[in-house]
Amino acid sequence: MKKVLIGGTYDIITTGHIVAIKTAKIAGDYLIVNVMPDNRTREKKGNERPIFPLVERKTIIYNIKGVDRVVSIPYKGGGKLKYEIELAKKIRPDIYFTQLQNKERKILENYCKRLKIEVITFPEVWGIEKLHTSDIINKIKGIKPY
């Protein structure tokens, strides 16, 4: 059985989230989705985030067809790369979908290679990439249209 891991904040679900999760599911037999904990979300997105607490975001993700397991590993600081390496170490998937780019991706790849984990960078989907959660929040606030 091939285990696939993908993760994110999943604060307000967008079409891009659904496409990413469905694409990850196609890559293997068992899909594990990591939902970023509240403290990591605040560090990454700002003090007004997350909109939904972790338990609600995990419940939403678990109810997407094709998701087999939802996890959230604790965040102890150190940034995105350190968090993703810790995630790979704890979950040990066969395939790890990430959005890390360039130098950070290479570091993650080198680490995962030792664990026999294939790293796939999930590309932005044409026509969907402009619809991020932050854009939705700003539209609701009346700050800017997306």
- Looking at the structure of the chain, the number of domains it has is 1
Is 100 domain-assigned?
yes
Q: CATH code at 89? A: 3.40.50.620
Per-residue pLDDT of the chain (146 residues; tens, 9 = 90+): 999 999 999 988 888 889 889 999 999 999 999 999 999 989 988 898 899 999 999 999 999 999 999 999 999 999 889 999 999 999 999 999 998 888 999 999 999 999 999 999 876 554 444 556 666 666 777 765 54
Domain that holds residue 112: 3-141
Is 104 domain-assigned?
yes
Is 146 domain-assigned?
no
Say what the pTM is.
0.87
Is 32 domain-assigned?
yes
The CA-CA-CA angle for residues 90, 91, 97, to 5°, reads: 120
